[in-house]
């Protein structure tokens, strides 16, 4: 009889089955059936790597201003005014401090009184019975106290202690004015050693008309946006570089603001901003190393290199789009065309916040741009009037806060809207103007962007998007290729020549 031999399985057979299953699981999870790993375009990854903490710290607002002669200047955070597109020095009396570090000085004696700018109400402004008085006060040694002196013509002056609100603003709301001609002056003291330095502004004259309804407490000059909503998600900070000379041998880091616009085109998202944040009209070049951080305020941390600690992460646009009239002229001769767009591909352009979609407009939301009729100088005052407008942006000196001003909109010259009391500071350029703002949703149509101010008085100008080439340029942003003919530094963009003349 043949004996049949039976083989017994080893006692640790179950262990090897578990190991085998584990190996198969690992192999399966790494197969083509697994979730794809998000990758960045190499050129976009290079932009992220470019913005080291040192470069971000060195970036300054691209803040343009015009003096009473109509000459343009770049306005620096320390108040310096540098000629823009010409070589004429700023007017005497304008803040022209020598370059100094933006932090507190070390090992030096501070003998300079505080800088006082942005006084609201400005010269010749008419207010009502109640008015918020404010000024922007800066000093390397810090500001210890600020007082406002107010008096009617041929009357007795009264002094009031101002309160530090946010950023560089000191303010107080006063009431009980009588109609007539009035004056006010600001005195500020810094925190330097040996008692500090005290300085006073020039006297500013204004008018009180208690029956006009103007100067209502609804006016906001510069405050932290606390209503959240669509605009906080869609608006963000833009980092970029522009050439320091026409040969493009040196580049300077700047910061502006922008907002994701509703575009109705798949495969791309569009950011509306100011043209001076997209194309250098003095050196004739597009920006390079552009990075957009939507809702940067929501992170609760100051701007840094880590896109992962921002709620929505960072996006890298591919191209900028501007009107030809911005490029062939130089500020301020081109202020009518200070609107432009950045275009961001829907894939491979995003870093950080992996839970959010890679398409910018899906992750951050978007806002409609209004190219049709809007309200201006409607004859009524306050937040309920049709022309009451919000302007928002990321002010450099309030990082990471998202700031805003709000008041009745008027005009300055023939080509710009104007918010006469707006005190938004550098870095807000390109941020949205919204009319009307729904405070429940933080949403509304964009009617302009922060453009420029005057060198010696408050207020913010915005380009008109109605009856201009703004919509034509927007259509270019919707249709142009995301890969320009030349990818050289300063050439990543499109200059739109619209089919009929504007303005």
Report the SS3 class of residue 489: coil
442: tokens are 């933080």
| Residue 219 belongs to some domain of the structure | no
Going by DSSP bridges, is the β-strand pair 285-286/279-280 parallel, antiparallel, or unpaired? antiparallel
| Residue 364 belongs to some domain of the structure | yes
**Which residue carries 């262990």 as its tokens?**
15
Residues 201 and 327 in one domain: no
| Residue 389 belongs to some domain of the structure | yes
DSSP code at position 322:
E
Residues 416 and 469 in one domain: yes
Write phi, then psi, for 399 (nearest 5 degrees): -55, 130
pLDDT at position 395 is 87
Residue 400, preceding bond cis, omega within 30 degrees?
A: yes
| Residue 360 belongs to some domain of the structure | yes
Name residue 258's beta-bridge partners: 236
Count other Cβ atoms within 10 Å, centred on residue 113: 17
pLDDT at position 93 is 52
Contact assessment for residue 66 and residue 73, using Cβ atoms and an 8 Å cutoff: yes
pLDDT at position 435 is 97
CA 398 – CA 170 distance, rounded (Å):
14
Tell me the whole-structure pTM to 2 decimals. Answer: 0.73
Residues 162 and 306 in one domain: no
User: In 3D, which of 273, 345, 355, 262 has the Cα closest to residue 311?
Assistant: 355
**Which residue carries 């499109």 as its tokens?**
494
Report the SS3 class of residue 333: coil
pLDDT at position 26 is 39
Residues 188 and 242 in one domain: no
Residues 351 and 446 in one domain: yes
Helices (H), 356-431: 360-364
Count other Cβ atoms within 10 Å, centred on residue 240: 28
Residues 146 and 173 in one domain: yes
Residues 335 and 424 in one domain: yes
| Residue 454 belongs to some domain of the structure | yes
The residue among 189, 214, 239 that closes a domain is 214
Report the SS3 class of residue 297: helix
Name residue 389's beta-bridge partners: 407
Residues 205 and 243 in one domain: no
Element (H, E) at 13: helix 13-29
Which portions of the chain are predicted below pLDDT 70?
Answer: 1-38, 92-109, 166-167, 212-217, 305, 355, 500-503
CA 455 – CA 22 distance, rounded (Å):
70
Contact assessment for residue 172 and residue 133, using Cβ atoms and an 8 Å cutoff: yes
The residue among 170, 185, 214 that closes a domain is 214
Is residue 471 left, alpha or beta, with left meaning phi > 0 and alpha meaning psi from -120 to 50? Answer: alpha
Residues 259 and 179 in one domain: no
| Residue 157 belongs to some domain of the structure | yes
Contact assessment for residue 313 and residue 351, using Cβ atoms and an 8 Å cutoff: yes
Residues 239 and 303 in one domain: yes
CA 165 – CA 168 distance, rounded (Å):
8
> Which residues span the domain enclosing 171?
122-214
User: In 3D, which of 133, 147, 121 has the Cα closest to residue 199?
Assistant: 147
Name residue 135's beta-bridge partners: 170
| Residue 42 belongs to some domain of the structure | no
- How many distinct structural domains can be found in the chain? 2
Residues 150 and 296 in one domain: no
Residues 271 and 402 in one domain: yes
The residue among 214, 241, 269 that closes a domain is 214
Question: Domain of 457: which CATH number?
Answer: 2.40.10.120
Question: Domain of 186: which CATH number?
Answer: 2.60.40.10
CA angle 467, 470, 471 (to 5 degrees): 85
pLDDT at position 500 is 66
| Residue 183 belongs to some domain of the structure | yes
């Amino acid at each position: 009889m043949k004996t049949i031999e039976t083989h017994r399985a080893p006692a640790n057979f179950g262990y090897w089955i578990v190991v085998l299953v584990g190996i198969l699981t690992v192999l399966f999870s790494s197969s083509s059936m697994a979730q794809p790993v998000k990758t960045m375009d190499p050129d976009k990854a290079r932009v992220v790597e470019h913005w080291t903490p040192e470069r971000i710290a060195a970036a300054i607002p691209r803040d343009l201003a015009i003096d009473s002669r109509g000459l343009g200047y770049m306005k620096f955070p320390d108040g310096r005014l540098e000629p823009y597109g010409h070589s004429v020095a700023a007017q005497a009396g304008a803040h022209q401090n020598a370059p100094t570090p933006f932090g507190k000085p070390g090992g030096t004696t501070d003998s300079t009184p505080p800088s006082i700018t942005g006084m609201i109400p400005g010269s010749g402004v008419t207010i009502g019975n109640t008015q918020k008085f404010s000024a922007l006060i800066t000093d390397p040694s810090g500001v210890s106290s600020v007082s406002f002196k107010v008096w009617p013509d041929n009357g007795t002056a009264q002094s009031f202690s101002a309160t530090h609100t946010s950023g560089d603003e000191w303010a107080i709301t006063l009431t009980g004015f009588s109609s007539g001609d009035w004056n006010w002056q600001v005195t500020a003291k810094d925190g330097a050693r040996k008692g500090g330095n005290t300085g006073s502004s020039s006297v500013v004259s204004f008018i009180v008309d208690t029956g006009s309804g103007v100067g209502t407490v609804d006016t906001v000059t510069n405050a932290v946006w606390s209503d959240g909503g669509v605009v906080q998600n869609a608006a963000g900070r833009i980092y970029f570089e522009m050439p320091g000379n026409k040969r493009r041998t040196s580049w300077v880091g700047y910061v502006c603001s922008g907002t994701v616009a509703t575009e109705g085109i798949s495969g791309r998202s569009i950011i509306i901003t100011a043209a001076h944040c997209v194309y250098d009209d003095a050196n004739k070049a597009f920006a390079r190393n552009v990075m957009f951080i939507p809702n940067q305020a929501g992170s609760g941390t100051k701007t840094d290199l880590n896109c992962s600690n921002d709620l929505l992460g960072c996006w890298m646009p591919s191209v900028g789009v501007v009107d030809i009239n911005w490029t062939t002229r130089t500020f301020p001769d081109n202020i009518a065309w200070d609107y432009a767009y950045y275009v961001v591909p829907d894939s491979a352009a995003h870093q950080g916040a992996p839970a959010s979609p890679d398409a910018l407009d899906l992750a951050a939301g978007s806002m409609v741009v209004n190219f049709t009729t809007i309200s201006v100088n409607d004859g009524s005052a306050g937040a309920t009037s049709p022309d009451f407008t919000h302007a928002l942006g990321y002010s450099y000196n309030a990082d990471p806060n998202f700031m805003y001003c709000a008041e009745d909109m008027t005009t300055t010259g023939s080509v710009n809207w104007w918010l006469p009391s707006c005190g938004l500071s550098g870095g807000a350029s390109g941020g949205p103007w919204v009319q009307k703002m729904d405070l429940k949703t933080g949403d509304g149509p964009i009617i302009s962007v922060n453009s420029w101010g005057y060198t010696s008085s408050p207020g913010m100008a915005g380009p008109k998007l109605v009856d201009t080439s703004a919509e034509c340029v927007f259509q270019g942003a919707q249709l142009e290729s995301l890969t320009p003919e030349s990818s050289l530094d300063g050439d990543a963009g499109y200059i739109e020549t619209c089919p009929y003349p504007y303005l």
